[in-house]
Structure 1
Amino acid sequence: MIKRTLFFGNPAYLSTKNEQLVVDFPEEGKAEKTIPIEDLGYVVLEDPQITITNGLLLKLVQNKTAVITCDKQHLPCSFLQPLVGHSEQTERMRYQLNASVPLKKNIWQQTVTAKINNQAQHFLSRGKNAIRLKRYAKDVKSGDFGNQEALAAAFYFQNLFDIDGFSRNQKGVPPNNLLNYGYAILRAVTARALVSSGLLPSVGVFHSNKYNAFCLADDVMEPYRPFVDALVYDIVETGCGLDELTKSIKADLLMIPALDVVIDGKQSPLMVAMSRSTNSLYECFAGVSRRVLYPEFV
């Protein structure tokens, strides 16, 4: 079942009754609304005047619903996750923490190769030359010795958008703002799946910044980034203004969890595919498998 994403960009009072999320609005004459909590995968809270009850937070966490809050720039900045996401969590975390260096290097090699191949396929879908990206993908070695990921990313973004002077920079010109928003949503999707698979999002196989609480999420989401890029590319092609993240643009970006992707030869919503990726990652940590399942851009 595809879980729903709810976005709240205006003042509201959120509570719960009869296993429903209840929405009350401060405006006179605006009717109360209810949504079954079991249908929810993500709740995005943007307006600073939103009030949410502890009872609702408890039920959302128990349902493994990701609650995402936004900062003054309207970008997702925090993510509420349960302390216990899986019945075998302690054992699974032990496998993760005890993973050998060669295993982690192999996982990162698979991850980078999958990411660059997806970037190449995205290029081909836009009628762009992907020979160089395909070469980078073939040259990825264990642990990505040689940093093909960075070389591919630099070439990819220099040639993706037909915008003079565009480069990938969080504080750069649009559509960097759209990419930032999309990647933040993707990061929350990844973190939610990792917790549900009983893994620690903060302990990565490659990313290891001590100030980053989502190192493993940043690892696993890499091959999924081109799907966000493709969505942003489509928005850019519409010719709409990009300086401001309008409600329409946010609505499009909030569809990321429901995007159709192909994983292991089968079509699946992105959020479901992500759970398959994180579970296959656990199986690698546990020694059951040597292959991480990642989607293919088609």
Structure 2
Amino acid sequence: MENLYIDRKGTELDVEGQHLLIRVPGERPRSLPLVQLRFITVSASVQLSSRLLLALDSAGVTLVVINPRSSGNWLVCSGNRHGNSARRLRQYQWWNRENSCLQAARQLVAAKITGQYRSLLQHRRQRPNLRRPLSRALEQLRQRRQAVLQAQTLDALRGVEGAASAAYFGALTQLVAPVWNFRKRLRRPPPDPVNALLSLSYTLAHGEAVQALVSCGLDPALGFLHQFSYSRESLACDLMELLRADIDRWVLALLRDGALTPTQFHFPSADQCLLGKEGRAVFYSAYRNEVIKWRKRCRKLASQWAARLEQETSCPEELKDDAQTTDH
């Protein structure tokens, strides 16, 4: 078991030796070897001991804490600290070269748009009745993909990315049944079930990205497309851009296949939608299987970025491959 999800209010987590102790009210205590864990996700009010936090850090276990009542309130405590300070120094030097930073950001955006393009192609094959709006969005993504190469500043590049995302999400709204009330991508707060699921999935995957980067000796705070900002893991945000299309497709499949229903969501306020307890049980069960692919992707990208830093190049090879390939 690499992932553990805690969603029971009043649960107590502690450590004894090299074992995690889980005490749930009304149930017998459970014990799990720390060596078997990589991620613990907490989505309820639980009690954590200070010695547990130290043990998780020592064992390289990442703790993700999510406030189930507020989609934008979360914390990642990453394990697997890496001792290669020279690698981080090379990362800082690389980040400080303006041309290298812009080139890396261009290739990230190109790869992201390519992922969105491929995803919409797959949707178009599955939904021939929506061929016209999806084809229109695909053409817009092709144009934005070409515009990436012309962007001379990070601000211009972010404008291109924003236009591509608007076209992409505009197409996704056509794929969702009206009962879900998904009109566009909104995150703070998410006003409908689709946005709530996207935000939750992105948050969990972000934890995977942070852990992968830290374990490769990279500083997750220094990104290229996402410039540094107080308390933000900008490089993890960069890595996340390459996962989003896959995450989006998985979320839409959950709804299409009937794994979740509208009654499993609730609205704390008129403009905020959250996944309820019953829905979270279904979601985390499905996520446990799906995240294996995303975790491998994060590790692969992080290790390639680290290797490229050793060679003092300006971008991971995988991004170059992705950026140069467009399916038609």
TM-score (norm 1): 0.84
Which runs of no fewer than 5 residues in structure 1 stay unpaired? Answer: 261-267
The runs of at least 4 aligned residues of structure 1 exceeding 6 Å deviation read 295-298
Q: Deviations over 1:47-85 (max 9, x none)?
A: 22x112222222211222111112252545111124x71
Question: Is 1:230 the counterpart of 2:249 in the alignment?
Answer: yes
Q: Deviations over 1:28-62 (max 9, x none)?
A: xx1111222122121112222x1122222222112
Alpha carbons 2:304, 2:316 under 8 Å: kept: yes
Question: Is 1:64 the counterpart of 2:94 in the alignment?
Answer: no
Which runs of no fewer than 5 residues in structure 2 stay unpaired? Answer: 125-133, 267-273
Which residue in 1 is equivalent to 2:300? 276
Match 1:98 to one of 93, 97, 101: 93
Alpha carbons 2:213, 2:299 under 8 Å: kept: yes
SS, match of residue 22 in structure 2:
strand
State how far apart, in whole Å, the 2-side matches of 1:165 and 1:251 are. Answer: 22
Match 2:144 to one of 127, 130, 136: 136
State how far apart, in whole Å, the 2-side matches of 1:246 and 1:122 are. Answer: 28
1:251 CA drift (Å) = 4.5
Alpha carbons 2:8, 2:24 under 8 Å: kept: no
Q: Deviations over 1:271-292 (max 9, x none)?
A: 1220111121223333355434
The answer to which of 182-191 and 157-166 deviates more is: 157-166
Which residue in 1 is equivalent to 2:271? none
Pair 1:282–1:17, CA change in 2 (3 A): same
Which residue in 2 is equivalent to 1:240? 261
TM alignment of 1:65-84, pairs within 5 A = 65-71=61-67, 73=69, 75=71, 77-82=74-79
Which residue in 1 is equivalent to 2:170? 158
Pair 1:193–1:251, CA change in 2 (3 A): farther
1:228 CA drift (Å) = 1.4
Q: Aligned AA for 2:240?
A: M
Pair 1:51–1:212, CA change in 2 (3 A): closer
What percent of counterpart residues are identical?
Answer: 19
Which residue in 1 is equivalent to 2:280? 250
Pair 1:131–1:186, CA change in 2 (3 A): same
Pair 1:165–1:180, CA change in 2 (3 A): closer
Alpha carbons 1:277, 1:292 under 8 Å: kept: no
State how far apart, in whole Å, the 2-side matches of 1:165 and 1:40 are. Answer: 36
SS, match of residue 161 in structure 1:
helix
State the structure with more CA Rg: 2
Question: Is 1:202 the counterpart of 2:202 in the alignment?
Answer: no
Alpha carbons 1:71, 1:77 under 8 Å: kept: yes
State how far apart, in whole Å, the 2-side matches of 1:220 and 1:236 are. Answer: 26
State how far apart, in whole Å, the 1-side matches of 2:44 and 2:214 are. Answer: 27
1:252 CA drift (Å) = 5.5
